[in-house]
Structure 1
Amino acid sequence: MFIMKTKTVTTLFKKVCLFSLALISFSAIAQEEEKKWFDNFSVNGSVDGYFRTNIGAPNTLDLDNNPDTPDPFQAPGTSFANESGFALGMANVILGYEGEKVGFVADLVYGPRGEDAVFNSVGSSNIVNQLYVYWNVTEKFKLTVGNFNTYLGYEVISPTGNFNYSTSYMFTNGPFSHTGLKADFALSDQWSAMVAIMNPTDYTENNPFDTYIVGAQVGYSADSGSAYLNFRYGNEGEPGPSEPTFQVDLTTGWDVSDKFYLGFNGTYLDTDGSGFYGAAIYPQFQLVDSFALGLRGEYFNTFVDTDGVDDVDVTAITLTGSYDIGNLTFKPEFRLDSSEDAFLDKDLEATSSLSSFVLGAIYKF
């Protein structure tokens, strides 16, 4: 009787243990699958706004002496940070999925900065900054199709990707985004290449012109920095010029030391004898853990193939501080733009320079 009871208890104990082990294994697998499921998805983005004022120049102009119809205030001829007083940037939400082989990015923007960035979009698409899918065909070959931000230039649309809060003339006049198909190649641990076929520049929803742009890039990346040589060639379509556009662009940046970084961007664009070229340097100093100081010194020239029309030269010096408080960054910025008789002083007389101050606030999540 005692032996029988012991055997019964032992058998029951084994069954309970086996059931418990099975339950634990199932729970572990479920937790692993749940963790992997959430790890593949990402949500991030930013919110920004700013204050801007001219120094030594009016922030509103009223040339016809009619207070009800003030003329537009003057500002640097660059994108985004051009409003007077307190102004809004944009809300940016980026949804992403990164699988082993395939994935997508849905980059949504809302606000004045976002609206300016997608100026050729209409309807519901005017909140789409990027929308693309990709396929990692092999470890060294990747295909991307959809709408993606430009590969040319040093600066980007999102304020979290730039050291300076205001943007350069090269960025403003260069492309913002492309829609098309691109192929990325990892040639080695340090060298890369890219080729693309795209709609006319910034026509992100469709192609109304039946013309296409070819893009290419050669890149070198190391622990201390990187360099990218970019190309763009093709017919931008009507109502623009019918001759092809050619652009070559060099973007590079290097950690000179633990505290000092130096970036450079040079670009040249030509369409049948008219276009622009420019160059900018971006030295940045990390003074303490929470504060850095950076300078952008830019020269920009626009030229046209027309008799009697002179080139337009612009020089812009921008000094920016960057102070981090957790995920919040404040960017105080002094900027001096110089171009012959391009601005007005407080007496509404033509002057060759415009000084301005910007305080940007960016929250990144």
Structure 2
Amino acid sequence: MKKILTLTVLFMSIVLTAQDSSEVTKDKKFTLSGSVDAYYQTLLTASDDSGQSFGTAFAGKTGFALGMGNIIASYESGKVGAVLDLVTGPRGGAATFNTDIVDGIVNQAYIYWNVSETTTLTMGRFNTFLGYEVIAPAANFNYSTSYLFSSGPFSHMGLKADFALSDDFSLMLAVMNPWDTNDTSTTGEYSFGAQLGYSGQYLNLYYDSGNNGGLGFEVDYTGGFDLADSFFLGINAAYNDNDGSGFYGAALYPQYTLSDDFSLGLRGEYYSRHDDDLDDLPSVIGLTATGSYIVDSNLIIKPEVRLDSWSNNDDAFFDADGEDSSSLAVFTLAAIYSF
């Protein structure tokens, strides 16, 4: 009888252990995702062999060109996990400065801990919380990028804490290496970031005691509103200062959905530099019209026309006759595949 009871207890223990092991296994999850993009570009107001491009990040080549390819590996086990985002190609190299962290192939690499249902800690290298646009083109409506995005940091290296304060409010606090120091900081300086979110609207603050050797800060607003069922208006505005010089500007992103497969969007941006010691610095108005056609859930085709016009900068570009010009127009056709 004792043997039977002992065997029964042992059997139940094995079953319970197997169930616990099965539940633990279910909590473990590995995912692989990424994107590949390429484009064709031609200058509408100048010769393609003139070597001109806008003063913004990425997509600056004429003819057929590669954007980037990236692979994101994510592993989660219970409350903890890690993400490794690897990039290659001109866009990826520009986003990671080519020589930054293992020859520029690491876009993001971080570990996170869901401390509770409302609190998450993240340490490592992660893309910036500033601005409306991001590095991966699949997440942007426009294929080319804005001056505001191009002027800000692309990534940070540090520790951040995300708090879900309520269904509507969120808060992020971060301590990081200085601006664009995404590997090892040897200066003894650090930067601090904060983000307050409310129903899809975000107020971002950045402070850097070692930003290029001086005091630096940035305040940035990112958000948007559904003005109708098929009409969305995105908004971005920022002011940056680094010891008396920096930049400021604003951009509007109206987007209209014509069908399940096709949308039209416009980016209207005003951008200017500022310096306490200089007056009448150049400013630019950029207008970018983009169509977005979804071939299926993975492939997006984006035709785009962009016109940038500078004030107080008559020789920013030159036209088809080789004469100085304050404006440049470009047509781009991009293909983006995400998985």
Please tell me the root mean square deviation across aligned C-alpha atoms, in Å: 2.2
**Residue in structure 2 matched with residue 192 of structure 1 by the alignment:** 170
Give the structure 2 partner of residue 350 of structure 1. Answer: 324
Quick check: 76-85 or 52-61, which moved more?
Answer: 52-61
Q: Which has the larger radius of gyration?
A: 1
- Output aligned runs, 1:198-347, within 5 Å: 198-221=176-199, 226-237=200-211, 240=212, 242-307=213-278, 310-326=280-296, 327-339=298-310, 340-341=313-314, 342-347=316-321
| Cα-to-partner distance string for 1:271-298 (whole Å, 9 max, x where unaligned) | 1210000100001011011100000000
Describe the shift of the 1:321–1:233 C-alpha distance in structure 2 as closer, same or farther (beyond 3 A): same
- Of the candidates 36, 53, 57, which is equivalent to residue 26 of structure 2? 36
Q: CA–CA distance in 2 between the matches of 1:231 and 1:45?
A: 29
Structure 1 CA distance for aligned equivalents of residues 171 and 325 of structure 2: 45
Q: 2:98 and 2:240 mapped to 1: Cα distance?
A: 20
- The answer to whether the Cα contact below 8 Å between 1:125 and 1:205 also exists between their aligned partners in 2 is no
Cα distance in 1 for partners of 2:70, 2:84 equals 11
Residue 57, structure 1, aligned to residue 35, structure 2: no
- In 1, Cα distance between the equivalents of 2:293 and 2:101? 37
**1:173 — aligned with what?**
151
Q: Secondary structure at the match of 2:48?
A: coil
Number of residue pairs matched by the alignment:
323
TM-score, with structure 1 as normaliser: 0.84
Q: Partner residue of 1:162?
A: 140
Structure 2 matches for 1:3-82, cutoff 5 A? 36=26, 40-61=29-50, 73-82=51-60
Q: 1:183 to 1:31 in 2, by over 3 A?
A: closer
Please state whether the residue corresponding to 1:228 is helix, strand or coil: strand
Aligned pair in 2 of structure 1 residues 180, 335: CA closer, same or farther (>3 Å)?
A: same
1:108 aligns with 2:78: no
Runs of at least 5 residues in structure 1 that lack an aligned partner in the other structure = 1-21, 62-72
Letter aligned with residue 318 of structure 2: L
1:223-262: CA deviations, max 9, x gaps?
xxx100000011235xx2x321010000001222221111
- In structure 2, the gaps of 5 or more residues are 1-11
SS at 1:208 equivalent = coil
Kindly state the Cα deviation for residue 31 of structure 1 after the two structures are TM-superposed: 11
Kept in 1: contact 2:101–2:183 (CA 8 A): no
